[in-house]
Structure 1
Amino acid sequence: MRTAKFWMGTLLAGALALGYGCGSEANKDPTPQDAPQQQYPDAGTDAGVLLTLTDAQIARVLQVANEGEVMLGQYAAPLATEQAVIDFNNQMVTEHTAVKQRLDALLAAQGITPEDTTLSLQLQTDVQELMQILAGPNAPPAGAARDLALISAQLDAHARVAFLADSLLSPQIVNPALKQEATTERQGVQMHINSAATIQSNLVMPPATP
Protein backbone atom coordinates (compact mmCIF):
# COMPACT_ATOMS: atom_id res chain seq x y z
CA MET A 1 0.00 0.00 0.00
CA ARG A 2 2.83 2.42 0.81
CA THR A 3 4.34 1.83 -2.64
CA ALA A 4 1.01 2.64 -4.28
CA LYS A 5 0.69 5.80 -2.21
CA PHE A 6 4.23 6.79 -3.17
CA TRP A 7 3.47 6.62 -6.86
CA MET A 8 0.23 8.53 -6.37
CA GLY A 9 2.14 11.28 -4.64
CA THR A 10 4.91 11.23 -7.21
CA LEU A 11 2.49 11.54 -10.10
CA LEU A 12 0.70 14.43 -8.40
CA ALA A 13 3.99 16.11 -7.66
CA GLY A 14 4.94 15.81 -11.29
CA ALA A 15 1.74 17.56 -12.27
CA LEU A 16 2.47 20.29 -9.74
CA ALA A 17 6.05 20.93 -10.82
CA LEU A 18 6.68 24.53 -11.77
CA GLY A 19 7.99 23.63 -15.22
CA TYR A 20 8.63 25.87 -18.19
CA GLY A 21 9.03 23.38 -21.05
CA CYS A 22 6.84 24.10 -24.05
CA GLY A 23 6.32 23.60 -27.76
CA SER A 24 7.63 20.43 -29.35
CA GLU A 25 9.22 19.41 -26.04
CA ALA A 26 5.85 19.09 -24.30
CA ASN A 27 5.74 15.31 -24.64
CA LYS A 28 9.09 14.83 -22.97
CA ASP A 29 9.53 14.32 -19.24
CA PRO A 30 10.17 17.77 -17.70
CA THR A 31 13.89 18.17 -17.04
CA PRO A 32 16.04 21.09 -16.00
CA GLN A 33 17.43 21.31 -19.52
CA ASP A 34 13.96 22.18 -20.78
CA ALA A 35 13.30 24.85 -18.20
CA PRO A 36 14.71 28.12 -19.51
CA GLN A 37 13.71 27.75 -23.15
CA GLN A 38 10.36 29.52 -22.67
CA GLN A 39 10.11 32.81 -24.51
CA TYR A 40 9.19 35.89 -22.49
CA PRO A 41 8.57 38.63 -25.09
CA ASP A 42 8.28 41.49 -22.62
CA ALA A 43 11.88 40.98 -21.57
CA GLY A 44 13.09 41.58 -25.12
CA THR A 45 14.15 38.05 -26.02
CA ASP A 46 13.81 36.19 -29.28
CA ALA A 47 12.41 32.67 -29.55
CA GLY A 48 14.98 30.10 -28.48
CA VAL A 49 17.11 32.64 -26.60
CA LEU A 50 17.48 32.53 -22.85
CA LEU A 51 15.60 35.21 -20.93
CA THR A 52 17.64 38.34 -20.22
CA LEU A 53 16.79 40.06 -16.95
CA THR A 54 17.87 43.27 -15.26
CA ASP A 55 18.68 43.45 -11.56
CA ALA A 56 15.26 45.02 -10.95
CA GLN A 57 13.54 42.14 -12.73
CA ILE A 58 15.65 39.53 -10.92
CA ALA A 59 14.81 41.21 -7.63
CA ARG A 60 11.12 40.76 -8.35
CA VAL A 61 11.61 37.08 -9.19
CA LEU A 62 13.37 36.60 -5.85
CA GLN A 63 10.53 38.38 -4.07
CA VAL A 64 7.90 36.25 -5.78
CA ALA A 65 9.80 33.03 -5.03
CA ASN A 66 9.80 33.85 -1.32
CA GLU A 67 6.19 35.04 -1.36
CA GLY A 68 5.18 31.82 -3.07
CA GLU A 69 6.86 29.65 -0.45
CA VAL A 70 5.10 31.57 2.31
CA MET A 71 1.75 31.12 0.57
CA LEU A 72 2.38 27.43 -0.07
CA GLY A 73 3.48 26.82 3.51
CA GLN A 74 0.43 28.59 4.93
CA TYR A 75 -1.83 26.61 2.64
CA ALA A 76 -0.23 23.20 3.05
CA ALA A 77 0.35 23.08 6.81
CA PRO A 78 -3.37 22.76 7.72
CA LEU A 79 -3.84 20.06 5.06
CA ALA A 80 -1.06 17.84 6.43
CA THR A 81 -1.39 15.19 9.11
CA GLU A 82 2.25 14.06 9.42
CA GLN A 83 4.00 16.27 11.96
CA ALA A 84 7.19 16.51 9.92
CA VAL A 85 5.21 17.86 6.94
CA ILE A 86 3.34 20.32 9.14
CA ASP A 87 6.56 21.51 10.75
CA PHE A 88 8.32 21.88 7.41
CA ASN A 89 5.58 24.03 5.95
CA ASN A 90 5.44 26.20 9.06
CA GLN A 91 9.23 26.53 8.83
CA MET A 92 8.87 27.70 5.22
CA VAL A 93 6.46 30.43 6.33
CA THR A 94 8.83 31.65 9.05
CA GLU A 95 12.08 31.47 7.09
CA HIS A 96 10.86 32.77 3.72
CA THR A 97 9.07 35.66 5.47
CA ALA A 98 12.36 36.59 7.11
CA VAL A 99 14.25 36.26 3.83
CA LYS A 100 11.69 38.43 2.02
CA GLN A 101 12.03 41.12 4.69
CA ARG A 102 15.82 41.01 4.42
CA LEU A 103 15.62 41.19 0.63
CA ASP A 104 13.23 44.14 0.73
CA ALA A 105 15.56 46.03 3.07
CA LEU A 106 18.52 45.37 0.77
CA LEU A 107 16.61 46.52 -2.30
CA ALA A 108 15.62 49.74 -0.55
CA ALA A 109 19.21 50.37 0.54
CA GLN A 110 20.51 49.72 -2.97
CA GLY A 111 17.85 51.80 -4.68
CA ILE A 112 16.54 48.85 -6.70
CA THR A 113 12.85 49.00 -7.56
CA PRO A 114 11.56 45.48 -8.37
CA GLU A 115 10.02 45.13 -11.81
CA ASP A 116 7.57 42.44 -12.90
CA THR A 117 8.15 40.33 -15.98
CA THR A 118 6.22 37.48 -17.52
CA LEU A 119 8.43 35.15 -15.48
CA SER A 120 7.58 36.68 -12.10
CA LEU A 121 3.89 36.83 -12.99
CA GLN A 122 3.96 33.22 -14.13
CA LEU A 123 5.59 32.13 -10.88
CA GLN A 124 2.72 33.76 -8.98
CA THR A 125 0.16 31.98 -11.15
CA ASP A 126 1.96 28.65 -10.76
CA VAL A 127 1.78 28.78 -6.96
CA GLN A 128 -1.91 29.63 -7.03
CA GLU A 129 -2.64 26.78 -9.44
CA LEU A 130 -0.54 24.41 -7.37
CA MET A 131 -2.58 25.18 -4.26
CA GLN A 132 -5.81 24.65 -6.19
CA ILE A 133 -4.61 21.22 -7.29
CA LEU A 134 -3.61 20.27 -3.76
CA ALA A 135 -7.16 20.87 -2.56
CA GLY A 136 -8.95 19.88 -5.76
CA PRO A 137 -11.23 16.89 -6.41
CA ASN A 138 -8.36 14.76 -7.71
CA ALA A 139 -6.04 15.43 -4.78
CA PRO A 140 -5.16 12.47 -2.52
CA PRO A 141 -7.34 12.03 0.56
CA ALA A 142 -6.13 13.24 3.94
CA GLY A 143 -3.43 11.03 5.35
CA ALA A 144 -0.20 9.53 4.09
CA ALA A 145 -0.92 10.08 0.38
CA ARG A 146 -1.72 13.76 0.85
CA ASP A 147 1.28 14.28 3.13
CA LEU A 148 3.49 12.81 0.43
CA ALA A 149 1.91 15.03 -2.22
CA LEU A 150 2.39 18.12 -0.03
CA ILE A 151 6.07 17.52 0.67
CA SER A 152 6.66 16.51 -2.96
CA ALA A 153 5.10 19.79 -4.08
CA GLN A 154 7.45 21.70 -1.77
CA LEU A 155 10.40 19.72 -3.07
CA ASP A 156 9.46 20.39 -6.68
CA ALA A 157 8.86 24.11 -6.07
CA HIS A 158 12.21 24.55 -4.34
CA ALA A 159 14.04 22.55 -7.00
CA ARG A 160 12.62 24.72 -9.78
CA VAL A 161 13.61 27.89 -7.95
CA ALA A 162 17.10 26.47 -7.42
CA PHE A 163 17.44 25.72 -11.11
CA LEU A 164 16.26 29.19 -12.11
CA ALA A 165 18.70 30.72 -9.66
CA ASP A 166 21.66 28.72 -10.95
CA SER A 167 20.98 28.90 -14.67
CA LEU A 168 19.18 32.20 -15.14
CA LEU A 169 19.25 34.62 -12.22
CA SER A 170 22.66 34.58 -10.50
CA PRO A 171 24.74 34.65 -13.72
CA GLN A 172 23.04 37.90 -14.78
CA ILE A 173 23.10 39.89 -11.54
CA VAL A 174 25.25 43.03 -11.71
CA ASN A 175 24.78 44.63 -8.28
CA PRO A 176 27.28 42.97 -5.84
CA ALA A 177 24.97 43.21 -2.82
CA LEU A 178 22.07 41.66 -4.72
CA LYS A 179 24.37 38.94 -6.04
CA GLN A 180 25.46 38.07 -2.49
CA GLU A 181 21.84 38.02 -1.34
CA ALA A 182 20.89 35.71 -4.20
CA THR A 183 23.77 33.40 -3.27
CA THR A 184 22.65 33.33 0.36
CA GLU A 185 19.07 32.61 -0.65
CA ARG A 186 20.22 29.84 -2.97
CA GLN A 187 22.07 28.20 -0.08
CA GLY A 188 18.92 28.37 2.02
CA VAL A 189 16.86 26.82 -0.77
CA GLN A 190 19.34 23.94 -0.96
CA MET A 191 18.94 23.30 2.76
CA HIS A 192 15.17 23.22 2.27
CA ILE A 193 15.54 20.82 -0.64
CA ASN A 194 17.66 18.48 1.48
CA SER A 195 15.16 18.59 4.37
CA ALA A 196 12.15 18.03 2.11
CA ALA A 197 13.89 15.14 0.37
CA THR A 198 14.57 13.48 3.73
CA ILE A 199 10.93 13.87 4.80
CA GLN A 200 9.74 12.53 1.46
CA SER A 201 12.06 9.54 1.75
CA ASN A 202 10.85 8.79 5.28
CA LEU A 203 7.22 8.90 4.13
CA VAL A 204 7.97 6.45 1.32
CA MET A 205 10.11 4.14 3.45
CA PRO A 206 10.03 4.91 7.19
CA PRO A 207 13.25 4.24 9.12
CA ALA A 208 13.38 0.76 10.58
CA THR A 209 12.70 0.61 14.30
CA PRO A 210 15.29 -1.27 16.39
Structure 2
Amino acid sequence: MRLAGYWLGAVLAGAMVLGGSACGADADDKDTNPPPGLQTVADAGTVLTLTDAQIARVLQVANEGEVMLGNFGAPLATDPAVRDFNTAMVTEHTAARQRLDAFLQSQGITPEDSPLSLQLQAEVQQMMEILQGPEAPQGAAFDLALMSAQLNAHARTAFIGDSLLTPQVTLPAMAQELQTQRQQVQIHIQEAEALQTRLLPIPPP
Protein backbone atom coordinates (compact mmCIF):
# COMPACT_ATOMS: atom_id res chain seq x y z
CA MET A 1 0.00 0.00 0.00
CA ARG A 2 2.87 2.36 0.70
CA LEU A 3 4.14 1.87 -2.84
CA ALA A 4 0.74 2.52 -4.37
CA GLY A 5 0.40 5.65 -2.26
CA TYR A 6 3.84 6.86 -3.36
CA TRP A 7 3.06 6.55 -7.04
CA LEU A 8 -0.43 7.95 -6.73
CA GLY A 9 0.95 10.98 -4.95
CA ALA A 10 3.58 11.42 -7.62
CA VAL A 11 1.01 11.21 -10.39
CA LEU A 12 -1.32 13.66 -8.73
CA ALA A 13 1.57 16.09 -8.31
CA GLY A 14 2.42 15.63 -11.96
CA ALA A 15 -1.20 16.22 -12.93
CA MET A 16 -1.13 19.52 -11.03
CA VAL A 17 1.78 20.60 -13.18
CA LEU A 18 -0.04 19.50 -16.33
CA GLY A 19 -3.04 21.55 -15.33
CA GLY A 20 -0.97 24.66 -15.87
CA SER A 21 1.40 23.65 -18.64
CA ALA A 22 -0.05 20.70 -20.52
CA CYS A 23 -2.42 22.69 -22.65
CA GLY A 24 0.32 24.60 -24.36
CA ALA A 25 3.68 23.60 -25.66
CA ASP A 26 4.17 27.35 -26.02
CA ALA A 27 4.32 27.41 -22.19
CA ASP A 28 2.55 30.70 -21.56
CA ASP A 29 1.85 29.71 -17.95
CA LYS A 30 5.00 29.99 -15.82
CA ASP A 31 3.39 29.96 -12.37
CA THR A 32 3.05 26.19 -12.00
CA ASN A 33 4.70 24.18 -9.25
CA PRO A 34 7.39 21.60 -10.08
CA PRO A 35 6.79 17.87 -9.70
CA PRO A 36 8.03 16.37 -6.44
CA GLY A 37 11.81 16.31 -6.07
CA LEU A 38 12.61 18.87 -8.75
CA GLN A 39 13.06 21.60 -6.13
CA THR A 40 16.44 20.11 -5.24
CA VAL A 41 18.12 21.14 -8.49
CA ALA A 42 18.78 24.60 -7.03
CA ASP A 43 18.53 26.35 -3.71
CA ALA A 44 15.37 28.31 -3.01
CA GLY A 45 15.43 31.60 -4.88
CA THR A 46 18.42 30.59 -7.04
CA VAL A 47 18.01 30.45 -10.80
CA LEU A 48 19.63 27.39 -12.38
CA THR A 49 21.60 28.69 -15.38
CA LEU A 50 22.18 26.26 -18.24
CA THR A 51 24.25 26.51 -21.41
CA ASP A 52 23.09 25.06 -24.72
CA ALA A 53 25.49 22.15 -24.17
CA GLN A 54 23.93 21.46 -20.76
CA ILE A 55 20.42 21.79 -22.19
CA ALA A 56 21.40 19.21 -24.82
CA ARG A 57 22.48 16.79 -22.09
CA VAL A 58 19.21 17.26 -20.22
CA LEU A 59 17.34 16.31 -23.40
CA GLN A 60 19.54 13.25 -23.84
CA VAL A 61 18.93 12.13 -20.27
CA ALA A 62 15.17 12.63 -20.59
CA ASN A 63 15.08 10.37 -23.65
CA GLU A 64 17.39 7.82 -22.04
CA GLY A 65 15.11 7.59 -19.01
CA GLU A 66 12.03 6.90 -21.12
CA VAL A 67 13.84 4.19 -23.07
CA MET A 68 15.01 2.61 -19.82
CA LEU A 69 11.52 2.58 -18.30
CA GLY A 70 9.98 1.26 -21.50
CA ASN A 71 12.54 -1.50 -21.98
CA PHE A 72 12.04 -2.65 -18.42
CA GLY A 73 8.27 -2.30 -18.22
CA ALA A 74 7.01 -3.57 -21.58
CA PRO A 75 7.89 -7.26 -21.03
CA LEU A 76 6.38 -7.24 -17.52
CA ALA A 77 3.16 -5.36 -18.25
CA THR A 78 -0.01 -7.45 -18.15
CA ASP A 79 -2.31 -4.89 -19.78
CA PRO A 80 -1.84 -4.90 -23.59
CA ALA A 81 -2.25 -1.12 -23.84
CA VAL A 82 0.37 -0.56 -21.13
CA ARG A 83 2.72 -2.94 -22.91
CA ASP A 84 2.14 -1.19 -26.24
CA PHE A 85 2.68 2.25 -24.71
CA ASN A 86 6.00 1.28 -23.18
CA THR A 87 7.14 -0.40 -26.39
CA ALA A 88 6.26 2.80 -28.22
CA MET A 89 8.27 4.83 -25.71
CA VAL A 90 11.35 2.78 -26.53
CA THR A 91 10.86 3.29 -30.26
CA GLU A 92 9.94 6.97 -30.18
CA HIS A 93 12.46 8.15 -27.59
CA THR A 94 15.25 6.16 -29.25
CA ALA A 95 14.41 7.93 -32.49
CA ALA A 96 14.27 11.29 -30.68
CA ARG A 97 17.67 10.66 -29.10
CA GLN A 98 19.18 9.66 -32.46
CA ARG A 99 17.75 12.78 -34.12
CA LEU A 100 19.08 14.93 -31.29
CA ASP A 101 22.54 13.37 -31.48
CA ALA A 102 22.72 13.94 -35.24
CA PHE A 103 21.66 17.55 -34.74
CA LEU A 104 24.26 18.14 -32.03
CA GLN A 105 26.98 16.65 -34.20
CA SER A 106 25.99 18.89 -37.11
CA GLN A 107 26.16 21.94 -34.82
CA GLY A 108 29.41 20.94 -33.16
CA ILE A 109 27.79 20.85 -29.71
CA THR A 110 29.23 18.50 -27.10
CA PRO A 111 26.64 17.80 -24.37
CA GLU A 112 27.73 18.64 -20.82
CA ASP A 113 26.33 17.35 -17.54
CA SER A 114 24.84 19.74 -15.00
CA PRO A 115 23.28 19.30 -11.56
CA LEU A 116 19.93 19.00 -13.35
CA SER A 117 20.93 16.23 -15.74
CA LEU A 118 22.63 14.33 -12.93
CA GLN A 119 19.53 14.62 -10.76
CA LEU A 120 17.27 13.38 -13.54
CA GLN A 121 19.51 10.36 -14.00
CA ALA A 122 19.35 9.66 -10.27
CA GLU A 123 15.55 9.96 -10.23
CA VAL A 124 15.13 7.44 -13.06
CA GLN A 125 17.42 5.05 -11.23
CA GLN A 126 15.29 5.49 -8.11
CA MET A 127 12.14 4.70 -10.08
CA MET A 128 13.77 1.58 -11.49
CA GLU A 129 14.91 0.43 -8.03
CA ILE A 130 11.37 0.79 -6.68
CA LEU A 131 9.82 -1.06 -9.63
CA GLN A 132 12.33 -3.88 -9.24
CA GLY A 133 12.58 -3.89 -5.44
CA PRO A 134 11.35 -6.50 -2.96
CA GLU A 135 8.10 -4.58 -2.45
CA ALA A 136 7.48 -4.08 -6.17
CA PRO A 137 3.86 -4.66 -7.19
CA GLN A 138 2.79 -7.45 -9.52
CA GLY A 139 0.17 -7.83 -12.21
CA ALA A 140 -2.33 -5.00 -12.51
CA ALA A 141 -0.67 -3.14 -9.63
CA PHE A 142 2.61 -3.18 -11.58
CA ASP A 143 0.84 -1.77 -14.64
CA LEU A 144 -0.47 1.10 -12.53
CA ALA A 145 2.92 1.77 -10.93
CA LEU A 146 4.63 1.69 -14.32
CA MET A 147 2.19 4.14 -15.90
CA SER A 148 2.46 6.36 -12.82
CA ALA A 149 6.23 6.39 -13.30
CA GLN A 150 5.82 7.20 -16.99
CA LEU A 151 3.39 10.01 -16.31
CA ASN A 152 5.56 11.50 -13.60
CA ALA A 153 8.70 11.30 -15.74
CA HIS A 154 6.98 13.00 -18.67
CA ALA A 155 5.51 15.68 -16.40
CA ARG A 156 9.01 16.42 -15.13
CA THR A 157 10.32 16.74 -18.69
CA ALA A 158 7.48 19.07 -19.60
CA PHE A 159 8.00 21.27 -16.56
CA ILE A 160 11.76 21.45 -17.06
CA GLY A 161 11.36 22.25 -20.74
CA ASP A 162 8.88 25.05 -20.12
CA SER A 163 10.46 26.62 -17.05
CA LEU A 164 14.22 26.11 -17.50
CA LEU A 165 15.24 24.99 -20.97
CA THR A 166 13.11 27.07 -23.36
CA PRO A 167 13.78 30.41 -21.61
CA GLN A 168 17.55 29.85 -21.64
CA VAL A 169 18.33 28.22 -24.98
CA THR A 170 20.28 30.58 -27.25
CA LEU A 171 20.80 28.72 -30.53
CA PRO A 172 17.68 29.06 -32.73
CA ALA A 173 18.09 25.58 -34.21
CA MET A 174 18.37 24.14 -30.69
CA ALA A 175 15.21 26.01 -29.70
CA GLN A 176 13.40 24.36 -32.62
CA GLU A 177 14.63 20.90 -31.59
CA LEU A 178 13.53 21.61 -28.04
CA GLN A 179 10.07 22.58 -29.24
CA THR A 180 9.81 19.43 -31.36
CA GLN A 181 10.68 17.21 -28.40
CA ARG A 182 8.32 19.15 -26.10
CA GLN A 183 5.42 18.55 -28.48
CA GLN A 184 6.18 14.83 -28.56
CA VAL A 185 6.30 14.73 -24.76
CA GLN A 186 2.89 16.42 -24.64
CA ILE A 187 1.37 13.66 -26.77
CA HIS A 188 2.90 11.04 -24.48
CA ILE A 189 1.57 12.83 -21.41
CA GLN A 190 -1.98 12.71 -22.73
CA GLU A 191 -1.67 9.02 -23.64
CA ALA A 192 -0.12 8.11 -20.30
CA GLU A 193 -2.68 10.09 -18.33
CA ALA A 194 -5.56 8.33 -20.10
CA LEU A 195 -4.03 4.91 -19.41
CA GLN A 196 -3.22 5.71 -15.80
CA THR A 197 -6.76 6.95 -15.18
CA ARG A 198 -8.23 3.75 -16.59
CA LEU A 199 -5.99 1.64 -14.37
CA LEU A 200 -6.78 3.44 -11.13
CA PRO A 201 -8.93 1.28 -8.85
CA ILE A 202 -12.51 2.44 -8.40
CA PRO A 203 -13.00 3.52 -4.76
CA PRO A 204 -15.76 1.78 -2.86
CA PRO A 205 -19.03 3.70 -2.55
Normalised by the length of structure 2, the TM-score is: 0.81
**Which letter maps to 1:126?**
E
Find 1:14's aligned residue among 9, 25, 32. 9
1:98-148 Cα distance to aligned partner (Å, 9 max, x none): 0000000111111111001111111111111111101112222x2111111
2:33 maps to 1:33: yes
Q: Distance in 2 between matches of 1:195 and 1:15?
A: 17
Find 1:184's aligned residue among 173, 180, 188. 180
Aligned residues: 184
Q: Distance in 2 between matches of 1:116 and 1:76?
A: 27
2:160 maps to 1:158: no
Normalised by the length of structure 1, the TM-score is: 0.79
Please say if residues 10 and 152 of structure 1, whose CA atoms lie closer than 8 Å, have aligned partners that are also in contact: no
| Sequence identity (%) | 61
Matching residue of 1:22: none
Please say if residues 3 and 135 of structure 2, whose CA atoms lie closer than 8 Å, have aligned partners that are also in contact: no
Q: Distance in 2 between matches of 1:195 and 1:149?
A: 15
**Which letter maps to 2:40?**
Q
Matching residue of 1:23: none
Q: Map residues 40-189 of structure 1 onto 2, 5 A cutoff.
A: 40=42, 48-140=45-137, 142-189=138-185
Q: Distance in 2 between matches of 1:82 and 1:53?
A: 40
Q: Distance in 2 between matches of 1:160 and 1:189?
A: 10
In the TM superposition, residue 48 of structure 1 has moved relative to its aligned partner by 2.2
Which segments of 5 or more consecutive residues in structure 1 lack a partner in the other structure?
20-30, 41-45
Q: Distance in 1 between matches of 2:177 and 2:201?
A: 36
What SS does the corresponding residue of 2:94 show, helix, strand or coil?
A: helix
TM-aligned CA distance change 1:202 to 1:119, over 3 Å: same
